[in-house]
Amino acid sequence: MAEVHVIGQIMGATGFSESSLFCKWGVHTGAAWKLLSGVREGQTQVDTPQIGDMAYWSHPIDLHFATKGLQGWPRLHLQVWSQDSFGRCQLAGYGFCHVPSSPGTHQLDCPTWRPLGSWREQLARAFVGGGPQLLHGDAIYSGADRYRLHTTSGGTVHLELSLLLRHFDRYGVEC
Amino acid sequence: MVMKTALSCHLWGGVGGHGSLELGRWPSLSLSSQGLEEGISQITSKSQDARRALVWNFPIDVTFKSTNPYGWPQIVLSVYGPDVFGNDVVRGYGAVHVPLSPGRHKKTIPMFVPESTSKLQKFTSWFMGRRPEYTDPKVVAQGEGREVTRVRSQGFVTLLFNVVTKDMRKLGYDTGPPDTQGVSGPSPPQGLPR
C-alpha cells in the first residue's frame, strides 16, 4: 500500500475583520484511505495579533495515511471563528483545500466564505452577532447542493504543508 | 515489516531571539539522537542602528534516527526577557517542524504568549512580574489541548536550517525537489515577513 505523510502547520489567517480568531480544522478522505497515525481534526488556539493583522496559530499537523487508491485524496476543511471578550464565538468563514499531491513543501492560501442570510440576519449580525451557519459541515468540502447558498467572502487561511510520499512509483503513479 | 536502515536527519544552523531551545522529541519506535536537544542562548539587546535587530546566532547540531516519519521533530522556542521591574518574563513561544527536504531553509516563525483571562489578572501579573506561561513549553509542538488557550502573537524569530537526510529514498520515501529557496546566509530579519 502506498503511504502519504502530511507534516506541516496551519500558520494563521489574514483578511478577517475580527481580530481574535481560531480555526477548527479536519481532514476528510475517501474510502480507500486509512489514517495510521495522527489526529484527523482539531481546533487551534485563539490568537489576538499585536503586530499587523495576521492571526498566528502555528498549529502542527502530522498525519500518516495508507491508501489503496487515488480517489478521495485528503481534503483539509477549515472553519474560522472569532471569539469576543465575553467568550462568545461567531463564524468568520468556511474554507477547504486539497492536501497537495506532489511531494515537497507547499505554501497554501485557502480563501474562506460565510453564508450571508437575509438583510434582517445581516443587520442582526452587525449589531448582536451570530448569523447563519451551515447545518452539515460537509457542504464545505463537497460540491453538492452548493447552488442554494448565497455567501460572502471572508479572509484567507495560510498553511505550510510538507508532503512525503512512499511507494507511489511502485504503483506507477506519477506526482 | 522491519526496516534495516534508518532515517536520519542532521541539522545545523543559527537562531536569531534571548531564548531556550528544545528540540521536540521524535516519539517513534527507535528514537535515538546525538547532539544537544535543548539549549539556552545568551541574552541579547537590540542593536543601536536602524535595524534594531536582536541576534543570538545560536548553533544547533543534532542528528535524529527513526523508522517512521510520523512525529517528525519540531524545534520549540521560548523567548524570555526582562520587564520594566527587572523580572524575567516570557515574551513568546513558537514551534516549527524541521524541514523535510535536504538543503538550506530559512524560516521565520511567529511567537505568541498566553493571555490573561481578565483585565484584573493582567494587571496583577504585570505588577507582580509573573505572567501566564506554559508549564511545559512542548505543548506548543502539539495540537491537542490548544483549543482552550487564548494567546497574543507578538514578534518573530528567524531560524536557518541545513538538513541532510539518509536512506529516505532507499526506504521508498519521496521528499520532492530539494528547495533551497536561494537562501544566502544568516541575516537579521528585515522588518515583518508578510
For position A32, what pLDDT does the model report? Answer: 93
CA distance B194 to B192: 6
For position A135, what pLDDT does the model report? Answer: 85
Question: Averaged over B17-30, what is the pLDDT?
Answer: 42
**Mean per-residue pLDDT of chain B:** 74
Number of neighbouring beta carbons within 10 Å of residue B39: 16
For position A8, what pLDDT does the model report? Answer: 94
Residue A126 lies in a domain: no
Residue in chain A closest to B28 (alpha carbons) equals A37
Of B97, B101, B153, the CB nearest to A8: B97
CA distance B31 to A116: 51
List Cα–Cα distances, B62 to A130, B116, B140, in angstroms.
50, 36, 20
> Alpha carbon B185 to chain centroid distance?
18
Of B149, B154, B177, the CB nearest to A104: B177
Query: Distance (Å) from the C-alpha of residue B161 to the closest C-alpha of chain A?
Result: 14
Backbone angles phi, psi at A146, to 5 degrees: -70, -25
Residue A134 lies in a domain: no
Say if residue A73's pLDDT is above 70. Answer: yes
Say if residue B107's pLDDT is above 70. Answer: yes
pLDDT, tens digit, 9 for 90 and up, residues B145-176:
888 789 998 888 888 888 888 888 888 888 88
Higher pLDDT, B77 or B178: B77
pLDDT, tens digit, 9 for 90 and up, residues A76-102:
999 999 998 888 899 999 999 999 999
Mutation for B interface: A64, A85, A88, A164, most B CBs within 10 A: A164
Higher pLDDT, B18 or B53: B53
Q: Which grid coordinates are listed for A66?
A: 495508507
Residue A140 lies in a domain: no
Q: Does A168 touch chain B (CB under 8 A)?
A: yes
For position A3, what pLDDT does the model report? Answer: 93
Residue A143 lies in a domain: no
For position A36, what pLDDT does the model report? Answer: 95
Interface size between A and B, measured as CB pairs under 8 A: 127
Q: Do B153 and A12 touch (CB under 8 A)?
A: yes
Is residue A54 within 8 A of residue A13, CB to CB? The reply is yes
* ipTM > 0.95, yes or no: no
For position B34, what pLDDT does the model report? Answer: 61
For position B180, what pLDDT does the model report? Answer: 52
Residue in chain B closest to A1 (alpha carbons) equals B172
B145: left (phi over 0), alpha (psi -120 to 50) or beta: left
Question: Averaged over A64-80, what is the pLDDT?
Answer: 93
Residue A47 lies in a domain: yes
Question: Averaged over A55-65, what is the pLDDT?
Answer: 94
Q: How would you write A112-175 as a 3-class SS string?
A: EEEECCCHHHHHHHHHCCCCCCCCCHHHCCCCCCHHHCCEEEEEEEEEEEEEEEECCHHHCCCC
For position B183, what pLDDT does the model report? Answer: 53
For position A117, what pLDDT does the model report? Answer: 86
For position B4, what pLDDT does the model report? Answer: 27
Give me the number of domains chain A comprises: 1
Question: Any idea what the CATH number is for the domain that residue A3 is in?
Answer: 2.60.40.150
Residue A132 lies in a domain: no
State the pLDDT confidence band at B31, using cuts at 50, 70 and 90: very low
Q: Does A17 touch chain B (CB under 8 A)?
A: no
Lowest mean pLDDT, pick from B15-24, B71-80, B145-154: B15-24
Question: Averaged over B33-48, what is the pLDDT?
Answer: 76
Query: Number of helices (H) and strands (E), helices first, in chain B?
Result: 1, 10
State the pLDDT confidence band at B35, using cuts at 50, 70 and 90: low
CA angle B67, B68, B71 (to 5 degrees): 125
**Nearest residue to B114 (alpha-carbon basis) of B165, B69, B166, B151:** B151
| Parent domain of A36 | 1-111+154-169
For position B119, what pLDDT does the model report? Answer: 87
Residue A145 lies in a domain: no
Residue A1 lies in a domain: yes
Question: Averaged over B95-112, what is the pLDDT?
Answer: 89
